[in-house]
């Protein structure tokens, strides 16, 4: 069964243009071509990158954060409470107002005490600035090295300046060792990102990040197997051009160096919009949709590859909207706000803004609340688990 599935999967018509077979891409006359099995080396290399990352964060990132003055916000420890802890782990980390009142009654606490417990418990699970800085510094190092390495590999290639050259003599394009090494490193890095997702900082665009990593891994694997390395290398280079600027911006934001952070953020925004919203659709998507089939008809790989690129472009638009929101905030306030994808530390004031009616008299439990007046009756209903009629 496995052999039948493997034979069906690697049919020529899925991966190669019409009138070409895998036999045309066999190594001969000193020429080496890309073979799908070459990418198996990415798996142990990804594990090596994971080990290298944790070593870098401990030996380089952490001391660097201290040297640059990154300070973690002091957090008050949460008092042990089995009932509230069970609810936090099983039901949700942010209960609504009626549920807070019910939990307060069950635990013999006031509403304010229960509210404070959940706030401190949420802060306890949020990553500290040091962890954020170490993660950003590792990604900055990789993206910068990858971008410089990609430029060194491609700067003398004709298809870097004329994407239409990606299809010259396709698929009879020999594999160059430097391009293979760079490709393998990129694939290994994105696999390592998937491996470390449970340990990384979970942001609000977590699902989009997972989708991006999966699409990127599939794109790299498919483009290498179908010998689409030229156009694939351009996609990788365009992405690396802005990513290291974003990570540098985060690093300076965590060190509270606002001027440098603001400058890097504006530079990142310009590079991101130009590479993802201008160059990518007008150069990459155009050549893959039209120029790629100028000399041969479309095949399954043509539709599959372009579908993945279209998904990637949709993710570009999504993140562009987030960046525009940050730019709008930057223009209004004169400085870059926190990453809107990240959760911030909660303070008592932020909680009071969210639940203003739980202050003062309503913040006390049913025993401490006054027994007369509409406000006390409403608080009593909340404490008994009923919502206030509107």
Per-residue model confidence (pLDDT) at position 360: 40
371 pLDDT above the threshold of 50: no
Number of H helices, E strands in the chain: 17, 0
Global confidence as pTM: 0.76
Each residue's pLDDT tens digit, 310-357: 999 999 999 999 999 988 887 887 655 555 444 444 555 444 444 444
- The answer to whether residues 261 and 252 touch, using CB atoms and an 8 Å cutoff, is yes
Distance CA 306, CA 91 (A): 41
Per-residue model confidence (pLDDT) at position 18: 86
Domains defined for the chain, CATH in brackets: 30-67+128-338 (no CATH), 82-125 (1.10.10.60)
379 pLDDT above the threshold of 50: no
Residue with structure tokens 């006031």? Answer: 110
Per-residue model confidence (pLDDT) at position 295: 77
Between 319 and 92, the more confident residue is: 319
- The answer to whether residues 33 and 174 touch, using CB atoms and an 8 Å cutoff, is yes
2 pLDDT above the threshold of 80: no
50 pLDDT above the threshold of 60: yes
Each residue's pLDDT tens digit, 234-272: 999 999 999 999 999 999 999 988 889 989 999 999 999
| 365 HSE (CA, 13 A, CB side) | 12
In this predicted structure, which of 36-40, 84-88, 209-213 has the lowest mean pLDDT?
84-88
Distance CA 305, CA 224 (A): 11
Which pair of structure tokens corresponds to residue 55? 């070593």
Distance CA 274, CA 342 (A): 25
In this predicted structure, which of 1-5, 168-172, 247-251, 263-267 has the lowest mean pLDDT?
1-5
Per-residue model confidence (pLDDT) at position 55: 95
Per-residue model confidence (pLDDT) at position 48: 96
* Peptide bond between residue 312 and the one before it cis (omega within 30 degrees of 0): no
pLDDT level of residue 71 (50, 70, 90 thresholds): confident
96 pLDDT above the threshold of 50: yes
Burial group, residue 334, by CB count within 10 angstroms (0-12, 13-18, 19+): exposed
Each residue's pLDDT tens digit, 191-236: 999 888 877 777 766 788 888 889 999 999 999 999 999 999 999 9
Instruction: List Cβ<8 Å contacts ≥24 apart for 378-384.
Output: 379/111, 382/97, 382/98, 382/101, 382/111, 383/101, 383/104, 383/105, 383/111, 384/101, 384/105
Q: Please compute the mean of the pLDDT values over residues 82-108 and round it to a whole number.
A: 76
- The answer to whether residues 249 and 131 touch, using CB atoms and an 8 Å cutoff, is no
Q: Please compute the mean of the pLDDT values over residues 133-137 and round it to a whole number.
A: 92
């Amino acid at each position: 069964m496995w052999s039948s599935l493997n034979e069906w999967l690697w049919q020529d018509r899925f991966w190669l243009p019409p009138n070409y077979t895998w036999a045309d891409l066999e190594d001969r006359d000193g020429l080496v071509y890309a073979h799908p099995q070459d990418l198996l080396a990415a798996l142990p290399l990804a594990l090596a990158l994971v080990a290298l990352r944790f070593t870098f964060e401990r030996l380089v990132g952490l001391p660097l954060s201290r040297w640059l003055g990154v300070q973690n916000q002091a957090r008050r420890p949460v008092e042990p409470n089995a009932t509230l802890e069970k609810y936090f782990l099983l039901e949700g980390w942010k209960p609504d107002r009626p549920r807070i009142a019910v939990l307060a009654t069950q635990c013999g606490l006031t509403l304010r005490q229960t509210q404070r417990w959940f706030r401190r418990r949420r802060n306890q699970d949020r990553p500290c600035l040091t962890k954020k800085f170490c993660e950003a510094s590792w990604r900055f190092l990789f993206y910068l090295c990858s971008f410089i390495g990609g430029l060194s590999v491609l700067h003398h290639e004709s298809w870097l300046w004329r994407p239409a050259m990606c299809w010259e003599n396709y698929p009879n394009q020999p594999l160059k060792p430097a391009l293979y090494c760079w490709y393998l490193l990129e694939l290994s890095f994105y696999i390592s990102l998937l491996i470390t997702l449970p340990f990384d900082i979970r942001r609000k665009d977590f699902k989009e990040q997972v989708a991006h990593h999966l699409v990127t891994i599939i794109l790299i694997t498919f483009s290498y197997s179908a010998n689409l390395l030229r156009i694939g290398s351009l996609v990788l280079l365009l992405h690396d051009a802005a990513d290291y600027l974003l990570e540098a911006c985060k690093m300076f934001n965590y060190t509270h160096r606002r001027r440098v952070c603001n400058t890097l953020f504006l530079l990142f925004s310009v590079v991101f919009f130009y590479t993802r919203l201008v160059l990518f659709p007008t150069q990459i998507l155009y050549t893959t949709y039209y120029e790629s089939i100028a000399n041969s008809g479309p095949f399954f790989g043509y539709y599959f590859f372009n579908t993945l690129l279209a998904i990637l472009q949709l993710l570009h638009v999504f993140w562009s909207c987030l960046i525009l929101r940050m730019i709008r905030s930057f223009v209004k306030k004169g400085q870059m706000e926190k990453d809107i994808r990240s959760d911030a530390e909660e303070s008592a004031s932020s909680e009071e803004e969210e639940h203003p009616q739980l202050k003062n008299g309503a913040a006390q439990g049913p025993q401490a609340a006054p027994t007369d007046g509409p406000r006390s009756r409403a608080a009593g209903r909340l404490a008994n688990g009923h919502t206030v009629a509107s």
